[in-house]
Amino acid sequence: MSDVLILNGRLVDPASGVDGERDLLLRHGRVAAVEMPGVLRAVKGKEIGKEIIDAKGMIVAPGLVDVHVHLREPGQTYKESIKTGTAAAAAGGFTSVVAMPNTLPVNDSVEKLEWMLDASRGACVKLFAMPAATFGSLGEEITDYHELQRVGAVGFTDDGKPVLHDRVMRAALVAAAGIGVPVSQHAEDTRLTGGCSMNAGPVAFRLGLRGMTVEAESKIVERDIRLLRDIEQHDGLRPHLHVQHVSTAKAMEAIRQARRAGLHVTCEVAPHHFTLTDEAIGEYDTNAKMNPPLRNDADRMAMIAGLMDGTVDCIATDHAPHALFEKEQEFERAPNGITGLETALGLALRVLHKGNGMPISRVIELMSAQPAGIVSLEGRGTLKVDSFADVVIFDPAAEWSFAAAKSLSKSRNTPFDGAPMLGRVMATICEGVIVYRG
């Protein structure tokens, strides 16, 4: 592994409070030095850095962390594989991704988790996983959290489905609290969403599609918060609930209140939920079909407000690749989900930074330090000396259009084909290895 010397960049590392010109030396997969301009240039002459990157005009930031991706392996490699999905992650500036368990078969055992995390799968960025919260993600019986954590689980989720029964969710929160990891909840009361394929409202009415109400999301969030409070009061534990892909103002407000009450609730918002509304479905474009669905503009603005005021802990893509033939179906029959790893930074900078005045350092924090903290990735999400040499270098001023045809993902299901982006990734470095060059 060669040394990498990154010179002349604006280093933005929210975890260490750095935002200014710094040079960076990566050695043996770790951050070896962070110095003011000029200091490392001296050692450059001594040829310690075989790879020298001139980052003039660029931002040098901790590699991005995504706590919510679907890599489709095992079982659905026609959509994506760990190799292609992590290549797409690298192209988007991500150096750590957390794979969801709704693969075929469901990742609910030590053997499956070990198989997924094995180096022979070909991940080019650091792969983590959340195994299923319940066996088969059937919502009936929780998996072996202790054993799964021993081989690398960073949390538990039945993503794609909620843990619906109060008793089972309570057991999951208690078991996860015992080992200090979160339960990530897909907040959807599926008893209220049968046959629904988009957000409830005037657009759904006009299109003749059954709509998911905002209450279908908020009721589960509120139920989970009640469980947290109950467990804290009666079990002497402090469980960590992570609410996935929040999409409604009502759920966001419930989370805000729970945090004010001191409960350990974190949450994520996906770029599509702060960028688009249900109008994006247009003429039944299945590339705008996802779950939770695109909501109305008031909900979209509530996601932005939550990101701005700190209620939202991180941005997560919910990268969900599907093959063209699957999306090329009747809207109600097409699967939910869009790809997102290569558009997340560009959308966040465009909508949050340029559109709503969020400082770039805060965008980076929401995509690196904070998600790393949610799943306790020690030494990641920061560029402090001795942390992992996970770095993204991007041009914050570059305006460009995303071309789905050039995606490194196997799938092209995105509503952002041709959409304007701000900020282009020039290089992604994972544990000192350059895994992407723009």
Partner 1 sequence: MTILETGTIAAGSLLTVAGLTVEEVAAILAATDRLERMAAAERAKILAGRRIALLFYESSTRTRTSFELAAKSLGAMTTLVSDKSSSIEKGESLKDTGLTLRALGAECIVLRHANSGAPYLLAKTTGLPVLNAGDGMHEHPSQALLDLRTMLARLPGMSGRLVNAKTLEGVTVVITGDILHSRVARSNAMLLPRLGARVVLCGPPGLLPDDALGLGLDSKGGIEIERDFDKALKQAGSGGKAVVMMLRIQRERLAGLELDLEEYISRYQLDEERLMARAPEALVMHPGPMIRGLEIAGEVADGPNSAIEDQVRHGLGVRMALLVRALGAGGFESVTV
CB 63 within 8 Å of CB 391: yes
Task: Name, in order, each residue with C-beta under 8 angstroms of 1's C-beta and a sequence gap of 6 or more.
Answer: 28, 29, 432, 433
Of 318, 386, 390, 395, the catalytic one is 318
Which of 104, 266, 257 has the alpha carbon at shortest distance from 183?
266
Partners of 430 in the β-ladder: 433
CB of 293 to partner 1, least distance (A): 15
Q: Is 224 tagged catalytic?
A: no
Segment near partner 1 (CB under 8 A), from 177-185, 233-241, 279-287, 428-436? 279-287
For residues 11 and 25, what is the distance between their CA atoms, to the nearest angstrom?
A: 12
Least Å from the CB of residue 286 to partner 1:
7
Residue whose C-alpha is closest to residue 366's, from 376, 381, 378, 380:
381
Among 17, 236, 405, 406, binds partner 1 (CB under 8 A): 405
Q: Answer yes or no whether residue 404 interacts with partner 1 by CB under 8 A.
A: yes
Q: How many CA atoms lie within 13 A of 52 on its CB side?
A: 14
Contact call for residues 267 and 327 (beta carbons, < 8 A)? no
Does residue 328 interact with partner 1 by CB under 8 A?
Answer: yes
Distance CA 10, CA 360 (A): 11
Q: Is position 406 an interface residue for partner 1 (rule: CB under 8 A)?
A: no
Q: Minimum distance from CB of 50 to partner 1 (Å)? A: 41
Residues 182-241 that bind partner 1 (CB under 8 A): 194-195, 200-210
Please report how close the Cβ of residue 294 comes to partner 1 at its closest, in angstroms.
15
> In whole angstroms, how far apart are CA 379 and each of 3, 10, 62, 286, 369?
18, 21, 10, 39, 10
Residue 417 near partner 1 by CB under 8 A: yes
Cα(214)–Cα(187) distance, rounded to whole angstroms? 11
Q: For partner 1, give the closer residue by CB, 185 or 193.
A: 193
Q: How far is the CB of 328 from partner 1 (least distance, A)?
A: 5
Determine the Cα–Cα distance for residues 181 and 269; give it in Å rounded to an integer.
20
Nearer to partner 1, 353 or 410 (CB): 410
Residue 72 among known ligand-binding residues: yes
Instruction: Specify the residue, 147 or 279, whose C-beta has the smaller distance to partner 1.
Output: 279
421: DSSP letter: E
336 annotated to bind ligand: no
- Contact between 323 and partner 1 per CB under 8 A: no
State the catalytic residues.
318
Q: Which residues bind partner 1 (CB under 8 A)?
A: 194-195, 200-210, 283-287, 324-325, 327-333, 404-405, 412-414, 417
- Residues at the binding site are 68, 70-72, 102, 159, 186, 245, 291, 318, 322
